[in-house]
């Protein structure tokens, strides 16, 4: 009997020891798990801080770009994250790069922007644009040069444009159909600075195989027949239709300069192109008194 009790005591002691060891291992496992989770939480917190700092710096950078005072040399401290900003420009597009570092983690962001400045557009319209292609100044197709369904067109100094047209003897009415080379064969006057301006109190129709020059302010509709060419700007301040009939040379452009319209643009046939001419659009933009602020965001990309 005595021997049997000793065996039972030994067995219970062994079981108790196994139980204690198991508890110890479970405790150690829990400790390691909690420690690992703590590190993961801390790492995620650093990652989120880096991302939030990058996002905050993005809005800051866009606003500074709008004001023209972005400082790319000095870094920013946002919530303990060190943020650097850099920009590159290609054509009408600006890329804003934001690099944010918090602890051992970093976040890199690129925002592609296009200025709302009308001079960077081939077509700027509050209406819709159908079957009309935009080309850049070297005649490469670029759909981003068309802005349609815009909220508004900035205020244009029509008084000055009307005065220029009157002084140059270029005020027309009814349905005006200019001759080839109208009015002087050049977008600019003899001084090379003042644009040629025609004010049409009515409609404008440019017949096929004719080329006209200058800024055309048209209160009614506009029609460009096949192979008609406008070397300049068409500005339509009212909700009227611009129709362009294509054909002819595929590389030719119905308008070389730009179109600014409160109405719709519709192309018929093939090769209906508006080619952006920065010099003409910048000249027209000098008569804008209510410039559109800001940028249009094309893409928001984490790298």
Distance between CA atoms of 63 and 77, rounded to whole angstroms? 17
> Beta strand 93-102 with 105-115: parallel, antiparallel or unpaired?
antiparallel
pLDDT in tens, 80-118: 778 888 888 776 678 888 888 877 777 788 988 877 678
183 preceded by a cis bond (ω within 30 of 0)? yes
CB neighbour list of residue 98: distance below 8 Å, 6 or more residues apart: 54, 57, 58, 61, 83, 84, 85, 108, 109, 110, 111
Q: Are 78 and 109 in contact (CB under 8 A)?
A: no
Please tell me the predicted confidence (pLDDT) of residue 303.
Answer: 79
Exposure on the CB side of residue 27, measured as CA atoms within 13 A: 6
Q: Are 110 and 79 in contact (CB under 8 A)?
A: no
Q: Which of 162, 145, 159 is nearest to 258 (CA)?
A: 145
Please tell me the predicted confidence (pLDDT) of residue 293.
Answer: 56
Question: Of residues 125 and 11, which shows the higher confidence score?
Answer: 125
Please tell me the predicted confidence (pLDDT) of residue 42.
Answer: 44
Q: What is the mean pLDDT of residues 243-261?
A: 86
150 preceded by a cis bond (ω within 30 of 0)? no
pLDDT in tens, 49-91: 777 777 888 888 887 777 767 777 777 887 777 888 888 877 6
How does residue 27 score in pLDDT terms, banded at 50, 70 and 90? low
Question: Of residues 293 and 214, which shows the higher confidence score?
Answer: 214
Beta bridge partner(s), residue 146: 123
Distance between CA atoms of 134 and 212, rounded to whole angstroms? 19
Q: Are 161 and 293 in contact (CB under 8 A)?
A: no
How does residue 157 score in pLDDT terms, banded at 50, 70 and 90? very high
Please tell me the predicted confidence (pLDDT) of residue 135.
Answer: 92
Q: Report the mean per-residue pLDDT for the chain.
A: 83
Please tell me the predicted confidence (pLDDT) of residue 99.
Answer: 87
Residue 165 DSSP SS3: helix
Q: Are 76 and 82 in contact (CB under 8 A)?
A: yes
pLDDT in tens, 170-196: 999 999 999 999 999 999 999 999 999
Contacts for 6-12 with beta carbons within 8 Å, 24 or more apart?
A: none
pLDDT > 90: percent of the chain: 43
How does residue 41 score in pLDDT terms, banded at 50, 70 and 90? very low
How does residue 214 score in pLDDT terms, banded at 50, 70 and 90? very high
Q: Which of 21, 94, 111 is nearest to 58 (CA)?
A: 111
């Amino acid at each position: 009997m005595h021997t049997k009790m000793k065996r039972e005591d030994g067995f219970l002691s062994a079981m108790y020891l196994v139980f204690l060891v198991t508890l110890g291992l479970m405790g150690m496992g829990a400790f390691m798990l909690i420690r690992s989770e703590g590190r993961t939480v801390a790492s995620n917190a650093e990652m989120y801080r880096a991302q939030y700092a990058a996002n905050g710096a993005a809005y800051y950078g866009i606003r500074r770009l709008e004001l023209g005072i972005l400082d790319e040399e000095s870094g920013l401290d946002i919530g303990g994250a060190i943020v650097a900003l850099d920009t590159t420009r290609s054509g009408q597009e600006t890329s804003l790069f934001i690099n944010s570092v918090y602890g051992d983690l970093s976040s890199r962001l690129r925002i592609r922007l296009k200025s709302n400045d009308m001079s960077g557009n081939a077509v700027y319209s509050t209406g819709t644009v159908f079957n009309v292609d935009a080309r850049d100044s070297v005649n490469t197709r670029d759909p981003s040069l068309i802005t349609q369904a815009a909220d508004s067109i900035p205020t244009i100094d029509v008084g000055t444009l009307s005065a220029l047209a009157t002084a140059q003897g270029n005020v027309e009415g009814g349905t005006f159909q200019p001759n080839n080379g109208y009015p002087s064969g050049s977008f600019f006057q003899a001084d090379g600075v003042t644009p040629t301006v025609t004010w049409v109190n009515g409609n404008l129709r440019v017949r096929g195989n004719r080329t006209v020059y200058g800024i055309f302010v048209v209160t009614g509709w506009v029609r460009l027949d096949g192979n008609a060419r406008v070397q300049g700007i068409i500005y339509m301040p009212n909700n009227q239709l611009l129709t362009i009939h294509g054909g002819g040379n595929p590389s030719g452009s119905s308008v070389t300069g730009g179109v600014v319209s409160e109405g719709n643009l519709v192309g018929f046939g093939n090769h209906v192109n508006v080619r952006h001419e920065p010099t003409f659009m910048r000249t027209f933009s000098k008569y804008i008194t209510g410039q559109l602020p800001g940028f249009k965001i094309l893409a928001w990309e984490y790298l």
